[in-house]
């Protein structure tokens, strides 16, 4: 362990320093300000995706994908893989609102819930195109 700054742009002061491991210090570098060093705020904490992975056990790629397709940050870092959180993701079409699972089970729809979610939430397809 050694002393590291909490805010790498801030001063070396008592309020801005803590004891940190090599891994923690590597994650706090300025040049990681992109994807790897991005802070995700949830559950009253702000941590990197790697830190959330260590705390929750959820794969980093899963967290990244969830955030990319519009999941709430708290759900993205806390809900276990394959949870039915996606049931709450609703698509409205022709005045009818259904979860992606309900659309996938609807007669005449051949797309899976995952495909519908990807088309609608990630690729931003129109509702009818995403579902049908």
Whether residues 99 and 53 share a domain: the answer is no
Chain-centroid distance of CA 120 in Å reads 17
Residue 7 in any domain: the answer is yes
- CB proximity list for 68: less than 8 A, separation 6 or greater: 122
C-alpha 5/C-alpha 1 separation (Å) is: 13
| Number of domains comprising the chain | 2
Residue 120 in any domain: the answer is yes
Neighbours of 113 (CB within 10 A): 19
Residue 114 in any domain: the answer is yes
Whether residues 49 and 6 share a domain: the answer is yes
Whether residues 6 and 42 share a domain: the answer is yes
Regarding pTM above 0.75, the answer is: no
In order along its 132 residues, the chain shows pLDDT tens digits of: 888 887 766 788 999 888 888 777 766 655 444 445 577 888 888 888 888 888 888 888 888 888 887 788 888 888 877 655 555 677 888 888 777 878 888 888 888 888 888 898 888 899 999 988
Whether residues 47 and 92 share a domain: the answer is no
Whether residues 53 and 99 share a domain: the answer is no
Q: What range does the domain containing 34 cover?
A: 2-57
C-alpha 131/C-alpha 87 separation (Å) is: 15
For residue 9, the 8-state DSSP code is T
Whether residues 127 and 91 share a domain: the answer is yes
């Amino acid at each position: 362990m050694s002393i590291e700054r909490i805010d790498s742009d801030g001063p070396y002061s008592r309020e801005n320093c803590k004891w940190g491991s090599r891994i923690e210090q590597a994650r706090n570098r300025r040049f990681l300000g992109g994807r790897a060093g991005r802070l995700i705020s949830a559950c009253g904490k702000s941590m990197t995706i790697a830190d959330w992975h260590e705390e929750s056990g959820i794969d980093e790629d899963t967290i990244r994908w969830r955030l990319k397709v519009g999941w709430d940050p708290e759900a993205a870092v806390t809900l276990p893989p394959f949870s039915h959180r996606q049931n709450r993701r609703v698509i409205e079409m022709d005045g009818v609102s259904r979860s992606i699972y309900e659309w996938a089970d609807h007669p005449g729809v051949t797309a899976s819930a995952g495909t519908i979610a990807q088309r609608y939430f990630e690729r931003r397809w129109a509702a009818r195109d995403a579902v049908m």
